[in-house]
Amino acid sequence: MKLTLEAVAALTGGKILSGDPELTVFGVASLLDASHEEASFLGNEKYFEDFLHTSAGIVLVPPALPAYPENVAFVEVDNPSMAFNALVKYFMASAYRFTPGIHPTAIIDPTATFNPDKIHVGAYTCIGAHCVIGDGTDIGNGCDIGDGVTMGENCRLHAHVIIRERCKLGSRVTIQPGAVIGSDGFGFLMGDNGRYVGIDQVGIVELGDDVDVGANTTIDRARFGRTIVGEGTKIDNLIQLGHNVVVGKHCVIVAQSGIAGSTKVGDYATIAAQVGISGHLKIGSKSVLGAKTGVISDIPENVAYWGFPASPFKDASRQYAALRKLPALIKEVHALKRNLESPGR
């Protein structure tokens, strides 16, 4: 796979600033790692010094930079990060080839519905009764698909994914290795005998179109009804979504975050790493929760919150700044106290 400078400009919707239109690259890399046969991009001003020392053949750049390195071809684009992603997708297409077929070690219930010429099922995968699998879906090695699961078209399940019974996946859903969709929610009641008794979890999980789920993430089935992840939402590795959680469309949930049962998250929300959200809350659309935020009450729409308990970002920043001054203030108070208590005053 290769691209000329002219083809890079066409693929990214950019404008050639300099370089031979026939200059060819064969892959992509970071600014400092790229060779003259690779393309790169400047998407953040923090990497401007790396940009000035790059050996890349072609670099995607934003408009009106103050300086440019020599012997590099440039394509000007409005959003270099997004444009670079188009190049990554182009070159990744050569690394991944969808090849239909059923591995002979796969165990598939005869009542499952799919076109064997239009899906791929890997080694040692099990597919249960009455499943429905859309064309173009690629199920990796060692997956376990429970009874009654439905999947849309062009889904991709990497190795050792578990989809438990009756759960529903839209089209173009991608699930990374080790994720579990439809595990039992954490529901127990204390019985009269002083022992916890499990509450049956009889609902399902429903993932919308174009949802991505990271490695070793777990999404619990509803106690009854549905745990829902909306269209286009991107979920990182090691995320926990509790039973009956509803996540809206086009949200981002970053590593090691957890959302407790029955909480509802609006569309386009951003939940940063290691955020903890209590149950039965409402998180407003387009809200942003900073890293390590602890949420114990509802969050409005179109706001940024941070800290524990979650506070508006400016308030939390001031509180954190004041907290860092606390040791010095304590020393000052002790010094004033000793001075006041000294003999002769």
Q: What is the pLDDT of residue 341?
A: 84
- 227 with 233: CB under 8 angstroms? no
Q: How far apart (Å, rounded) are the C-alpha atoms in residues 189 and 194? A: 10
CATH class of the domain at 101-317:
mainly beta
Q: What is the pLDDT of residues 295-345, one digit of tens each?
A: 999 999 999 999 999 999 999 999 888 989 999 999 999 989 888 888 766
DSSP alpha helices (H): ranges in the chain?
Answer: 5-12, 48-52, 80-95, 313-324, 326-341
Task: Say what the pLDDT of residue 340 is.
Answer: 87
pLDDT given at position 274: 97
Task: Please identify which residue in the block is written with the tokens 């909480």.
Answer: 263
Q: How many CB atoms lie within 10 A of CB 240?
A: 18
The CATH classification of domain 3-95, taken from the options 3.30.950.10, 3.40.1390.10, 3.40.50.300, 2.10.10.100: 3.40.1390.10
Cβ atoms of residues 29 and 38 within 8 Å: yes
Alpha-carbon gap, residue 52 to 67, rounded angstroms: 8
Contact 76, 63 (CB under 8 A): yes
Q: In the chain, where are the structural domains located?
A: 3-95, 101-317
Kindly report the length of the chain.
Answer: 345
The rounded distance, in Å, linking the Cα atoms of 185 and 277 is 16
Please identify which residue in the block is written with the tokens 């998250």: 265
- Which residues of the chain, if any, have pLDDT below 50? none
* pLDDT score for 343: 75
Catalytic residue among 120, 158, 243, 250: 243
Report how far residue 137's alpha carbon sits from residue 5's, in angstroms, rounded to the nearest whole number. 34
pLDDT score recorded for residue 345: 60
Q: 250 Cβ partners below 8 Å, 6+ apart?
A: 230, 231, 232, 233, 267, 268
pLDDT of residue 94: 64
Specify whether 53 is catalytic: no
Report the relative pairing of strands 15-18 and 73-76 from DSSP bridges. antiparallel
